[in-house]
């Protein structure tokens, strides 16, 4: 028999349910396949850095699979629909008896999987696994059987279920001694516009190394340092989790091994970090329960009536890190240059775009996706709808971050700002969040834009717009 494993955002050999199960039959010939879908990726605004990250992860995967004697084929097709056809063709050509894959939860991905399942009906058995989350979506529900609309009760119900199930990670499958030896693939696997990846090495080994180091060294300080962007206080594992170079169970198991008592103290760094993994879980479950989210429709429907200003020049200033608000601009430059942005800054920059500039959150959602190396539909949409007060338990619309005071709070000495805005290097700490004040007082000239909005006025304008929509 021939077993085909269709890899997607699970580019690893360790703790991969689809791969592990495909290898359970010792006699089966196991093949692996990945579909590159440039048109679909464009429609999803996938960042070039993310595409390059996937490319290099596939090279690493092909090495790991070659060690098991499993051949990996890269198939180029435009769209998901096309990919489903190609996978079905592959199954037919190689007389695959079974297809194995791990679920993806966004709508287009689900439709692709329904299509391939339909095409293979009565020919190839399809086995699909819930691998990308701790608990399959649809299982953490209220007594009425509905998805939670608020995070905390979701988390409580999640924890009860989570600790009643087996969360062990699966090992790497054994070498397929009866399969022919294969060579790893050679670059390039598909055409790439951008191959420079300054800060993230795309291998499984690197992901595990980072996880281990983070759990030993940083988790104890996580609660304290995770909000300070100048400090490397978070795991930076998001790119690895997004494309599955690392599994969510590996994260939990490593954490649990390092700090076995962490659940007893909900202010410990370990608990706070686990809580973030549950936020990830929450957003994955949410898009399954509310497929409209995948169509970029607001969770709170009344917010669809907001009259956005959508000023293109102001949007451009925001994308370029030229708003005149140092913390916002430094954050946007971090995103543009590295493909990653600190969580606290994602919240601030999103809030600034939506509330201060009154620009539709979907513009920001799309722009983030086009830059993020860790771009993940559910988390990105969840984060944007949170900031826009259009989401589940989003920030209330009348609580609006002040970018200057937030900057003072989370980057008090401007260390982060100076790193990304060298033009402000000489501004004293006291004025780093209001550099033009200093320039005016001292007769210095600054090569840095004036603030593009008056925050106090913009705040009132935003509240009024939301209230108008709510009427």
The distance of closest approach from Cβ of residue 276 to ligand FAD in the complex, given in angstroms and rounded to an integer, is 4
Question: Which residue among 279, 311, 402, 415 is the active-site one?
Answer: 279
Question: Which residue among 276, 311, 336, 415 is the active-site one?
Answer: 276
**Stretch in the footprint of ligand FAD (CB under 6 A) among 181-189, 285-293, 346-354, 458-466:** 346-354
The distance of closest approach from Cβ of residue 459 to ligand FAD in the complex, given in angstroms and rounded to an integer, is 19
- The 161-200 site mask, x for binding ligand FAD (CB under 6 A), equals ----------------------------------------
104 binds ligand FAD (CB under 6 A): no
375 binds ligand FAD (CB under 6 A): yes
| Among 13, 18, 237, 317, contact with ligand FAD (rule: CB under 6 A) | 237
256 binds ligand FAD (CB under 6 A): no
**Stretch in the footprint of ligand FAD (CB under 6 A) among 40-48, 117-125, 344-352, 421-429:** 344-352
Active site residue 386: no
Residue nearest to ligand FAD (CB): 383
Q: Which is nearer to ligand FAD, 33 or 378 (CB)?
A: 378
Question: Which residue among 308, 311, 415, 438 is the active-site one?
Answer: 308
| Among 13, 52, 228, 387, contact with ligand FAD (rule: CB under 6 A) | 387
389 binds ligand FAD (CB under 6 A): no
The distance of closest approach from Cβ of residue 354 to ligand FAD in the complex, given in angstroms and rounded to an integer, is 10
Q: Which is nearer to ligand FAD, 155 or 176 (CB)?
A: 155
As given in the structure block, the two tokens for residue 452 are 């593009």
The size of the interface with ligand FAD (CB under 6 A), counted in residues, is 28
Q: Which is nearer to ligand FAD, 113 or 374 (CB)?
A: 374
Looking only at residues 404 through 423 of this chain, which bind ligand FAD when binding is defined by CB under 6 A?
none
235 binds ligand FAD (CB under 6 A): yes
283 binds ligand FAD (CB under 6 A): yes
**Stretch in the footprint of ligand FAD (CB under 6 A) among 106-114, 131-139, 193-201, 272-280:** 272-280
Closest by alpha carbon to 365, among 418, 296, 300, 304? 296
The distance of closest approach from Cβ of residue 126 to ligand FAD in the complex, given in angstroms and rounded to an integer, is 28
| Among 44, 112, 176, 346, contact with ligand FAD (rule: CB under 6 A) | 346
Q: Which is nearer to ligand FAD, 22 or 211 (CB)?
A: 211
CB 374 within 8 A of CB 343: no
In sequence order, the β-bridge partners of residue 3 are 30, 98
Q: Which is nearer to ligand FAD, 13 or 237 (CB)?
A: 237
**How far from 215 is each of 128, 253, 260, 461, CA to CA, in Å?**
31, 10, 12, 44
Active site residue 380: no
CB 175 within 8 A of CB 153: no
383 binds ligand FAD (CB under 6 A): yes
As given in the structure block, the two tokens for residue 331 are 């954050």
234 binds ligand FAD (CB under 6 A): yes
Active site residue 420: no
Question: Which residue among 6, 41, 361, 386 is the active-site one?
Answer: 361
SS (H, E, C) the chain: CEEEEEECCCCCCCCCHHHHHHCCCCCCEEEEEEEECHHHHHHCCCCHHHHHHHHHHHHHHHHHHHHCCCCEEEEECCCHHHHHHHHHHHHHHCCCCEEEEECCCCHHHHHHHHHHHHHCCCCCEEEEECCCCCCCCCCCECCCCCECCCHHHHHHHHHHHHCCCCCCCCCCCCCCCCCCCCCCCCCCCCCCCCCCCCCCCCCHHHHHHHHHHHHHHHHHHHHHHCCCCCCCCCCCCHHHHHHCCCCHHHHHHHHHHHCCCHHHCCCCHHHHHHHHHHHHHHHHHHHHHCHHHHHCCCCCHHHHHCCCCCCHHHHHHHHHCCCCCHHHHHHHHHHHHHCCCCHHHHHHHHHHHHHHCCCCHHHHHHHHHHHCCCCCHHHHHHHHHHHCCCCCCCCCCCCCCCHHHHHHHHCCCCHHHHHHCHHHCCCCHHHCCCHHHHHHHHCCCCCCCCCCCCHHHHHHHHHHHHHHHHC
458 Cβ contact list (under 8 Å, min separation 6): 355, 356, 357, 358
350 binds ligand FAD (CB under 6 A): yes
Active site residue 276: yes
255 binds ligand FAD (CB under 6 A): no
Active site residue 279: yes
Catalytic sites, residue numbers: 276, 279, 308, 343, 361, 384
Q: Which residues bind ligand FAD (CB under 6 A)?
A: 226, 234-238, 241-242, 276-277, 279-280, 283, 343, 346-347, 350, 368, 372, 374-376, 379-380, 382-384, 387
């Amino acid at each position: 028999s021939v077993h085909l494993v269709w890899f997607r955002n699970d580019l690893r050999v360790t703790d991969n349910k689809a791969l592990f199960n495909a290898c359970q039959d010792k006699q089966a010939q196991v093949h692996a396949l990945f579909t590159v879908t440039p048109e679909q990726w464009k429609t999803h605004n996938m960042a070039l850095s993310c595409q390059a990250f996937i490319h290099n992860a596939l090279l690493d995967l092909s090495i790991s699979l070659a060690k098991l004697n499993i051949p990996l084929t890269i198939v180029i097709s435009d769209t998901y629909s096309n990919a489903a056809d190609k996978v079905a063709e592959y199954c037919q050509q190689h007389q695959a008896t079974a297809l194995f894959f791990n679920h993806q939860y966004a709508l287009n991905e689900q439709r692709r999987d329904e299509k391939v399942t339909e095409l293979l009906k009565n020919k190839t058995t399809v086995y699909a696994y819930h691998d990308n989350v701790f608990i399959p979506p649809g299982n953490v529900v209220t007594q009425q059987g509905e998805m939670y609309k608020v995070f905390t009760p979701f988390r409580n119900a999640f924890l009860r279920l989570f600790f009643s199930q087996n969360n062990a990670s699966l090992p790497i499958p054994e070498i397929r001694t009866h399969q022919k030896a294969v060579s790893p693939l050679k670059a390039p696997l598909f055409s790439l516009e951008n191959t420079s990846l300054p800060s993230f090495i795309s291998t499984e080994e690197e992901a595990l190394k980072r996880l281990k180091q983070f759990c030993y060294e940083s988790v104890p300080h996580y609660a304290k340092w995770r909000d300070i962007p100048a400090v490397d206080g978070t795991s930076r594992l998001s790119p690895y989790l997004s494309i599955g170079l690392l599994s969510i169970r590996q994260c939990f198991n490593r954490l649990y091994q390092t700090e076995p008592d962490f659940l007893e103290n909900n202010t410990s760094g370990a608990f706070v970090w686990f809580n973030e993994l549950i936020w990830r879980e929450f957003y994955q479950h949410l898009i399954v329960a509310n497929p409209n989210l995948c169509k970029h429709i607001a969770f709170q429907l009344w917010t669809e009536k907001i009259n956005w200003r959508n000023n293109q020049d102001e949007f451009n200033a925001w994308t370029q890190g030229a708003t005149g608000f140092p913390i916002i601009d430094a954050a946007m430059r971090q995103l543009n240059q590295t493909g990653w942005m600190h969580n606290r800054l994602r919240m601030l920059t999103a809030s600034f775009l939506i509330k201060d500039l009154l620009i539709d959150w979907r513009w920001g959602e799309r722009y983030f996706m086009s830059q993020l190396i860790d771009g993940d539909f559910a988390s990105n949409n969840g984060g944007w709808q949170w900031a826009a007060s259009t989401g589940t338990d989003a920030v209330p619309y009348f609580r609006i971050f002040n970018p200057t005071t937030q900057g003072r709070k989370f980057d008090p000495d401007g260390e982060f700002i100076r790193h990304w805005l060298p033009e402000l290097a000489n501004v004293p700490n006291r004025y780093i969040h209001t550099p033009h004040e200093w320039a005016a007082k001292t007769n210095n000239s600054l090569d840095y834009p004036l603030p593009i909005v008056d925050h106090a006025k913009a705040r009132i304008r935003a509240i009024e717009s939301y209230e108008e929509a709510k009427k």
